[in-house]
Amino acid sequence: MAESRITYLIALILIATGAFLVIYSKPADTDNESPIKFYSYEEGLRLAKEQGKLAVLVVHSDTCYVCRIFMEDLAKYPDLQQAFSNFIPIKIDFNKDRTIAAKYGVTGTPEFHILDANGNVIELQGQKMVYLGYSTVPDNPNARKNLIAFLNYALKYTGYADSTELKVLSIVKGDEAVKQVKGIHMGSFEIVDAEIREYQSIGKIKVWIAYAETPELAGQYVQMMAGKVSQYFSEPENVEKPFKAYRVYGMGKTHYFFSMDNAVIWVEFENPDKAYHEKILEKLFIQKGV
């Protein structure tokens, strides 16, 4: 297999474990043994996009003895299960899903490919995140730990390790922010100050904060927005967690708007996962405050 398909770290892992492909004549029916639910290729990528997660594509074969050992270990060891639970697990059969296997240049089993939601193999420093082989003997702690290390490495260096970690991309304050907010609302309400923030997490998050003179006015402005927003977005939905807000959809994104003290706040998410939205909103406006 071409060395260009694996990172230096992966190469070291393979050398350390002596992982290689072994073909065994007896089919292994291991799907029912695993506590990790594996999805089809199409369904897995759909879920990865919905949930803002990476996918791990496992290429196996029913006649592969090493694949059987991997599935048996996955059924037994919580640390391996936990590592896989951070991804959307996808499994394809090397012999049956030839088109997909050929797409990723698969030549043997098992192989583990880290994919983004569009089905592209993640690359770090120009090298594709692909792990080859596992172990030829059951209960091999080194093989298990090295595969876990590879999965954790993929999470850490692609920014998915902490799904609520926020990197500030930009902050606009003062007159420029007031000008932009007034432009969006076409002067429909009066504000005394504004702030616009943009973050990078699992997808970008943009926050507009417009400060009214009083909390009462801020609440009135939010109700005004709720009455007009369907001209440009979906009909507003009532949200109760982590606090009361309105949720709308439009321009391929999910949006929330609400008032907090004298602030009128609008938050835009690229990531469509609602559970993720709840965590971010709590982190931004409950843990940290406006």
Last-in-domain residue among 96, 129, 157: 157
Whether 38 is in a domain gets the answer yes
User: Are 139 and 197 contained in the same domain?
Assistant: no
3 state SS of 171: strand
Task: Report if pTM > 0.75.
Answer: no
User: Are 78 and 27 contained in the same domain?
Assistant: yes
Whether 242 is in a domain gets the answer yes
Phi first, then psi, for residue 154 (nearest 5°) are -60, -40
Phi first, then psi, for residue 223 (nearest 5°) are -65, -35
The per-residue pLDDT for 4 is: 35
Cβ atoms of 110 and 66 within 8 Å: the answer is yes
User: Are 15 and 149 contained in the same domain?
Assistant: yes
The per-residue pLDDT for 12 is: 37
Q: Looking up tokens 């929330």, which residue turns up?
A: 256
The pairing of beta strand 55-60 with beta strand 253-260: unpaired
Last-in-domain residue among 138, 157, 176: 157
The per-residue pLDDT for 162 is: 55
Last-in-domain residue among 125, 157, 189: 157
The pairing of beta strand 88-93 with beta strand 55-60: parallel
The per-residue pLDDT for 50 is: 80
CATH of the domain at 251: 3.40.1000
Whether 20 is in a domain gets the answer yes
Whether 208 is in a domain gets the answer yes
Q: Looking up tokens 């071409």, which residue turns up?
A: 2
CATH of the domain at 9: 3.40.30.10
The per-residue pLDDT for 289 is: 56
Domain range for 44: 3-157
Nearest residue to 244 (alpha-carbon basis) of 266, 228, 259, 261: 259
Q: 124 burial class (0-12, 13-18, 19+ CB within 10 angstroms)?
A: middle
User: Are 108 and 141 contained in the same domain?
Assistant: yes
Whether 162 is in a domain gets the answer no
User: Are 153 and 14 contained in the same domain?
Assistant: yes
Cβ neighbour number for residue 290 with a 10 Å cutoff: 13
User: Are 173 and 149 contained in the same domain?
Assistant: no
User: Are 144 and 172 contained in the same domain?
Assistant: no
Q: Domain tally for the chain?
A: 2
The per-residue pLDDT for 22 is: 33
User: Are 146 and 263 contained in the same domain?
Assistant: no
Whether 68 is in a domain gets the answer yes
Per-residue pLDDT tens, the chain, 290 aa: give them: 433 344 334 433 333 344 333 333 333 344 445 689 999 999 999 998 887 789 999 999 999 999 999 999 999 999 999 889 889 999 999 999 999 999 999 999 999 999 988 899 998 877 899 999 999 999 999 999 999 999 988 887 665 655 567 889 999 999 999 999 988 876 678 899 999 999 987 678 999 999 999 999 999 999 999 999 999 999 999 999 999 999 999 988 899 999 999 999 999 998 777 878 888 999 999 876 55
User: Are 184 and 133 contained in the same domain?
Assistant: no
